[in-house]
Structure 1
């Protein structure tokens, strides 16, 4: 198994009722389903905040401008499509005034389209959520805001 430390950023999206948006993915290599906040790798020359805003819009159609300029750094160690990722990711916060804003993925990569199973706004974190410490990350971000 190869290993990658490509920098990445994620966005914890909260609606007006405190629900968090989770993207649902299927790893065809491991056979596992994963729930995680929108986000992804930084492009060359991009800051974590810029990546978070871009990834949010690409994966959800929600406005990247909603991403606040405050982050929590989260150590990650996970596998995806046969690659082990060991790195620290920046998790940002975005709040939305509506209840369950409509999510319309618009610019998913081919790999993402093949793995994407949908998304949901939820108050309860499901089994298989990544990172497993997401509840703590949410508390930290909402305390900072």
Structure 2
């Protein structure tokens, strides 16, 4: 089965320039991987609203931290026996400190599959033994930060 269910993700960058990644285990394939927080867009919800909601639910971080700065990211992955092929908006959230992240509201599926989260440097991401999805998340984070700084400076 293939799905193109709309979803949005959030690339969180802390005061040390690290990226927050969630660690998941697919209970069908057994694969363990890391990816930015995010998830499905509910009916009537904008991608930005979904990104803000998902960030708070999955990490406890404030949804208002998600900026209206995003880039489209092609995705092609399997999750729980479903093949997803789509383009997701990846938004940016920046934090002046190093906030602690912990889930607040997880679905039953997420509770069974979420293995935690971590703030990771680009070197730590490159050294992870499990795959990172998408694999170019460090470059995506850098592009989002560049765009946000360009907007802030009026460029």
TM class by smaller structure: over 0.9
SS for the counterpart of 2:21 is strand
More helix by share: 2
Q: Give the count of matched residue pairs.
A: 143
Aligned-partner Cα distance in 2 for 1:61–1:84 = 28
Question: Which residue matches 2:136?
Answer: 133
**Separation (CA, whole Å) in 2 of partners of 1:57 and 1:84:** 26
Q: Any stretches of 5+ residues in structure 2 without a counterpart?
A: 149-155
TM-score (norm 2): 0.90
Separation in structure 1 between the aligned mates of residue 95 and residue 71 of structure 2, nearest angstrom: 19
Q: Structure 1 segments of 4 or more deviating over 4 A? A: none
Greater Cα radius of gyration, structure 1 or 2: 2
What CA RMSD, in Å, does the superposition of the two structures yield over aligned residues? 0.8
Q: How far did residue 133 of structure 1 move?
A: 1.9
How far the C-alpha of 1:132 sits from its partner, in A, is 1.3
Matched, 1:93 2:92: yes
Cα distance in 2 between the residues matched to 1:45 and 1:34: 30
Paired residues of 2:13 and 2:141 also in contact (CA < 8 A)? no
CA-to-partner distance for each residue in 1:31-73, whole Å, 9 max, x for gaps?
A: 1101000000100011110000000000001000000001000
Q: TM-score, normalised by structure 1?
A: 0.96
